[in-house]
């Protein structure tokens, strides 16, 4: 299979490494930084540059850049794509890119599906990419038609070399609503939490809970700012809900209301158990 990858950051670079580790796949790629592409070719991860004159030769195209950049790439290259080609974006939000992708696919005849590899680290860039990043990780797919089983099977086979453990299917709207809570909110909370003046003097007085909560504060500001703004409505709603909840804890603590505080804590504990399927 000939695979075209747009963007050789952590996600795109790891996809390139994953396909290259399996024999029989040729990886073509493009990146805004020529040095990154040169390095990827020197390492044997990428066999050739992805260009306008060979993009139509690829069986599978994976777009691993920001949503705005993905839309620009689709609009600029859609006329060059063949009807037999499968194009999947790997962006962190889905509504804008899927709207553009589906419209262009209808106009030019190629097949487009939204995608979101649910894996990553707090490090960015090709230097931190790994061939095993997606091993057993979930891959979320947003197809044009939810019940297109033939397309879903085609996508499953095309993505098999990446090593994903399972494939979930959803709509662009539902994806963005849920991802605001499961992915974007942890990054907001972690990044805001670390701004306490106490953080500078925590060494020797912290353990696993501090490390777990602050791990994703070490993020790529440009990428996450774009993702947050692409999903501003859902993320703003989640932030508002959290602020309201924190206000309840703050009031109980300031008022010395132990029973109210214990009830709030127990409510959170029980919800966590229920959500994780462990009973009450």
The pLDDT value recorded for residue 270 is 95
Determine the distance from the C-alpha atom of residue 226 to the mean position of all C-alpha atoms in its chain, rounded to a whole number: 12
Please report the DSSP string for the chain in residue order. -EEEEE--SHHHHHHHHHHHTSTT-EEEEE-S-HHHHHHHHHTTS-SEE--TTTGGG-SEEEE-S-HHHHHHHHHHHGGG--TT-EEEE--S--HHHHHHHHHHHHHH--EEEEEEE----S--SGGG--TTTTTT-EEEEE-SSTT-HHHHHHHHHHHGGGT-SEEEE--HHHHHHHHIIIIIHHHHHHHHHTTSGGGGG-TTS--HHHHHHHGGGS--HHHHHHHHHHTHHHHHHHHHHHHHHHHHHHHHHHTT-HHHHHHHHHHHHHHHHHHTT---
The pLDDT value recorded for residue 94 is 97
User: What is the C-alpha to C-alpha distance for residues 241 and 235, in angstroms, rounded to an integer?
Assistant: 10
The pLDDT value recorded for residue 211 is 86
Mean pLDDT by runs of 10 across the 280 residues of the chain is 96 96 91 96 96 96 96 97 95 97 97 94 88 95 93 96 94 97 96 92 75 88 93 98 98 98 97 78
The pLDDT value recorded for residue 61 is 98
Task: List, in order of start, the domains of the chain with CATH numbers.
Answer: 2-169 (3.40.50.720), 175-275 (1.10.3660.10)
The pLDDT value recorded for residue 278 is 61
The pLDDT value recorded for residue 204 is 62
The pLDDT value recorded for residue 279 is 47
């Amino acid at each position: 299979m000939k695979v075209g990858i747009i963007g050789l950051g952590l996600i795109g670079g790891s996809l390139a490494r994953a396909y290259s580790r399996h024999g029989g796949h040729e990886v073509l790629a493009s990146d805004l930084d020529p040095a990154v592409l040169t390095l990827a070719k020197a390492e044997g991860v990428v066999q050739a540059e992805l260009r306008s004159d060979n993009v139509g030769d690829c069986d599978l195209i994976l777009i691993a850049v920001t949503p705005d950049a993905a839309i620009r790439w689709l609009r600029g290259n859609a006329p060059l794509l063949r009807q037999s080609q499968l194009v999947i974006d790997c962006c962190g939000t889905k509504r804008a890119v899927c709207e553009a992708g589906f419209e262009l696919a209808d106009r030019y005849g190629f097949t487009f599906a939204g995608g979101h590899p649910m894996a990553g680290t707090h490090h960015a860039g090709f230097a931190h990419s790994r061939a095993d990043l997606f091993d057993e990780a979930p891959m979320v797919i947003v197809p044009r038609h939810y019940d297109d089983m033939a397309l879903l099977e085609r996508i499953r086979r095309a993505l098999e070399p990446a090593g994903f453990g399972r494939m979930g299917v959803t709509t662009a709207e539902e994806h963005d609503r849920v991802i605001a809570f499961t992915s974007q909110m942890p990054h907001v909370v972690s990044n805001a939490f670390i701004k306490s003046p106490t953080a500078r003097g925590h060494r020797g007085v912290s353990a696993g809970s501090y490390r777990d909560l602050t791990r994703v504060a070490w993020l790529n500001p440009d990428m996450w700012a774009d993702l947050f703004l692409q999903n501003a409505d859902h993320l703003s709603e989640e932030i508002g809900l959290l602020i309201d909840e924190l206000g309840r804890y703050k009031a109980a603590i300031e008022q010395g209301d132990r029973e109210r505080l214990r009830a709030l804590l127990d409510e959170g504990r029980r919800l966590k158990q229920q959500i994780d399927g462990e009973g009450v």
